[in-house]
Chain A
């Protein structure tokens, strides 16, 4: 699928599907099905950062939760280093969790307000039997140092820290068990620009030093371009485009990726974001449009887009797009898009 993945990938996700059922409405509630994931497949290589971008409700957080088996997918497989995560026994899952960790968006709600930082970081070290006694304290201090916090932080409580410092604690906790892969779910979205840059630099250092792989979930294309090597773009439960980072940002192919890029504000009035009064709300995942989910907002929509969804197909080495404009062997899709610009 990708030349960088010639060896076995660290994480291989195939055909992941998840439908949530919800009872909605008043006075007579009806059961509605929300298809959060619809056949999602991707690979992550060792020490690679894969970005997953998309707007609210596209299923990007559900991907992380399904891969970690925090929720059970309806179909599809997740293999981590060759081990089937879905089929893993309780003991095997516990061993897997040491190697698969998650960092959340809001560290304030991810940390127990009544637990000292030393306990928040030390608990999992003890539970997993990595260290005991005084060694736990030493391990906690090493972790704090690694994420740029002073040793005095160990005795304090979460509310005594600023947002950026709390996110450092969240990262330290994810690192405590020495994982190979970290799911980072909007890890810098709640932070101010100057602090966001500090955390991104820290994550990048950790990726290199510990050879960590990341699945980096974000709605901010600038952050993903900066941090990730590959990116997958999601729209209403499906991956619509995937590929290496510089290429996708320089020449996005899928019309949705193009819309995302042209809507992302750039701090330069000469190339300010195109503010046309185009309408088009993202449709609800409860009742997604037929065929390609993006067709009601797509400027290049064709009849067949409304009927069947295009498959995610390789259009260039390492690049996959789910769009009929690019699925023809003639490859004139790119020309058609360029002509309409």
Chain B
């Protein structure tokens, strides 16, 4: 059985008594464009439990990465800010935390991996040093202890000949191996929450499958709550338990993965799936979504997808709420037409 299928059943059969590791409540994040603040993430709420993977899906500019940066407390100062809402990581309110407290959480209880491992790794420091760094910083380990643990971590993420490569530099690794180093850094302090922002987008497909398998395996062993940010619905189908689709900063659909792919309900989710060329199907005509995502200042009031939506009605000028479907209460949709 694939790791993914295993994981999904594992998550379903053992609900965690401790509750969610990550809670985001009514998060609104604004960014500044020429002295004006615009809401780039609006009223986003979700929970991620231990061993669960929640996927945030959407195209460029939909707010998925800003949501991740908000959780990490890494919004660029003066340009981005959390306007309202609350983020709780492993019982600690990140929005109320001081800069020093947030710093203590990052790399300790929240780990993060990014899309491009080459730009996230320091080119002039050996990778073993970079893995050990957070152990010295957060756990007060000695250099020698931390180095031992770094070696164990490199073996955990299945880097071949780890002992010889502890002192190697990032450029001496392939893309897939660099991403494994990033995962080792993120997991060094055994975090509760892992935020993976497009972790496999820069990798070749066969390497992507390996890295996703590794992440799923580590997640199960370490009991991680994973927030996966991706634009690839194929990756979502392979590893996620729940999916949230974002458009223009709004959550437009939220559902368990099997339910989502069986009944994609929001017109945008439906359109995304129809626009994706699939390797398992012969050429049915692709249905592109007309137009493009409006820039933040140009987003229409009300439903932000209305300018490209084939089902648009007058009422769309007013923002619909995220409403659970009668047939499936865990499946929420923000649409006047589809979820009236």
| A interface with B by C-beta (< 8 Å) | 55-56, 162, 164-165, 192-198, 200-201, 219-223, 225-227, 246, 249, 259-282, 284
- Pairwise interchain contact B177-A225, C-beta atoms closer than 8 A: no
Please classify the interface of chain B as helix (H, G, I), strand (E, B), loop, or mixed, using the class held by over half of its residues.
Answer: helix
Contact of B238 among A194, A221, A272, A277 (CB under 8 A): A272
| A280 partner residues in chain B, CB cutoff 8 A | 206, 210
**Interface window among B37-45, B95-103, B117-125, B278-286:** B278-286
Chain A residues with CB under 8 A of B217: 277
Task: Give bound CA distance, A226 to B4, whole Å.
Answer: 27
Interface residues of B (CB under 8 A from A): 2-5, 59-60, 158, 160, 174-177, 204-210, 212-214, 216-217, 231-239, 257-258, 261, 271-273, 275-283, 286-290, 292-293
Q: Say yes or no: B206 contacts A275, CB within 8 Å.
A: no
**What are 24 contact pairs spanning A and B, CB under 8 A?**
A55-B205, A55-B206, A162-B292, A165-B292, A192-B293, A195-B288, A200-B286, A201-B286, A249-B279, A259-B206, A260-B206, A261-B279, A266-B279, A266-B280, A267-B236, A267-B276, A269-B238, A269-B261, A272-B4, A272-B234, A272-B239, A275-B2, A275-B239, A278-B213
Neighbouring B residues of A222 by C-beta, 8 Å: 276-279
Tell me the smallest distance from the CB of A300 to a CB of chain B, in Å.
16
Q: Nearest Cβ in chain B — how far from A289, in angstroms?
A: 15
Give bound CA distance, A226 to B283, whole Å: 5
Among A193, A219, A271, contact of B276 (Cβ-Cβ < 8 Å): A193
Contact A194 B289, beta carbon cutoff 8 Å: yes
Q: Which of B208, B282, B283, B288 contacts A194 (CB 8 A)?
A: B288
Contact, CB under 8 Å: A277 / B288:
no
Residue contact A201 to B288, C-beta cutoff 8 Å: yes
Given known contacts A192-B60, A265-B237, A276 and B213 CB-to-CB distance under 8 angstroms: yes
- State whether A279 touches B288 (Cβ < 8 A): no
Compute how far the CA of A223 lies from the CA of B286 in the bound complex, rounded to whole angstroms. Answer: 10
B47 to chain A, nearest CB (A): 21
Contact (Cβ within 8 A) B275 A274: no
In the complex where A222-B278, A226-B277, A275-B239 touch, is A197 in contact with B261 (Cβ < 8 A)? Answer: no
Q: How far is the CB of B333 from chain A (nearest CB, A)?
A: 18
Evaluate contact between B205 and A271: CB separation under 8 angstroms: no
Q: Of A261, A279, A282, which one neighbours B204 at CB under 8 angstroms?
A: A282
Query: Roughly how many angstroms separate A276 CA and B209 CA in the complex, as a whole number?
Result: 8
Contacts of B176 in A (CB 8 A): 281
B210 engages A277 (CB within 8 Å): yes
CB within 8 A of B158: which of A55, A192, A275, A279?
Answer: A279
B279 engages A221 (CB within 8 Å): yes
Contact partner of B237 (CB less than 8 A), chosen from A223, A266, A281, is A266
Q: How far is the CA of A324 from the CA of B313 in the complex (A)?
A: 61
Cβ of B231: which chain A residues have Cβ within 8 Å of it? 192-193
Q: Contact check, B59 vs A192: say whether CB atoms are below 8 A apart.
A: yes
* Residues of the A chain whose Cβ atoms lie less than 8 Å from the Cβ of B233: 193, 265, 267
Q: A246 — which chain B residues lie within 8 A by C-beta?
A: 282
Asked whether A268 lies within 8 Å of B275 as measured between CB atoms, the reply is no
Contact of A200 among B2, B207, B277 (CB under 8 A): B277
In the complex, which residue of chain B has the Cβ closest to the Cβ of A198? Answer: B288
Residue in B2, B214, B261, B277 with the greatest tally of chain A CB atoms within 10 Å:
B277
B221, chain A: closest CB distance, angstroms: 12
Beta-carbon contact of A267 and B239 below 8 Å: no
**What is the CA–CA distance of A197 and B287 in the complex, to the nearest angstrom?**
7
- Assess whether A194 is in contact with B235, with CB atoms less than 8 Å apart: no
Q: A223-B277, A277-B213 are in contact. List 12 more A-B contacts (CB 8 A).
A: A164-B292, A193-B231, A194-B288, A197-B287, A219-B204, A225-B282, A260-B206, A264-B279, A267-B261, A269-B257, A269-B261, A272-B237
Which residue of A249, A261, A282, A284 is within 8 Å of B207 (Cβ)? A282
Smallest CB separation, A189 vs chain B (Å) = 10
Partner of A264, one of B2, B175, B234, B287: B234
Partner of B278, one of A262, A263, A267: A267
Shortest C-beta distance, B118 to chain A (Å), equals: 13
Establish whether residues B2 and A267, one from each chain, have CB atoms under 8 Å apart when the complex forms: no
The residue in chain B whose Cβ has the minimal distance to the Cβ of A256 is B206
A163 and chain B: residue at smallest CB distance = B60
Interface-centre pick from B3, B257, B271, B275 (highest chain A CB count, 10 A): B275
Contact assessment for A264 and B205 in the assembled complex, using a CB-CB cutoff below 8 Å: yes
Q: In the complex, A275→B213 CA distance in Å?
A: 5
Beta-carbon contact of B279 and A277 below 8 Å? no
Asked if A271 meets B258 with Cβ closer than 8 Å, knowing A194-B288, A277-B210, the reply is: no
Could you tell me if A194 and B271 are in contact, using CB atoms closer than 8 angstroms? yes
Task: Report the bound CA distance from A259 to B4 in whole Å.
Answer: 18
Residues in chain B near residue A277, CB distance under 8 A: 3, 158, 210, 213-214, 217
Q: Which residues of B contact A262 (CB under 8 A)?
A: 209
In the assembled complex, which residues on chain B have CB atoms less than 8 Å from the CB atom of A55? 204-207
Task: Please measure, in the bound complex, the distance between the C-alpha atom of A265 and the C-alpha atom of B239, giving whole angstroms.
Answer: 10
Nearest CB in chain A to that of B268: its residue: A194
- The answer on a CB contact under 8 Å between B273 and A263 is no
Closest beta carbon of chain B to A203's beta carbon, Å: 11
Residues of B within 8 A of A226 (CB): 277-278, 283, 286
Smallest CB gap from B259: residue in A = A269
| B209 nearest CB neighbor, chain A only | A263
- How many Å from the CB of B295 to the closest CB on chain A? 9
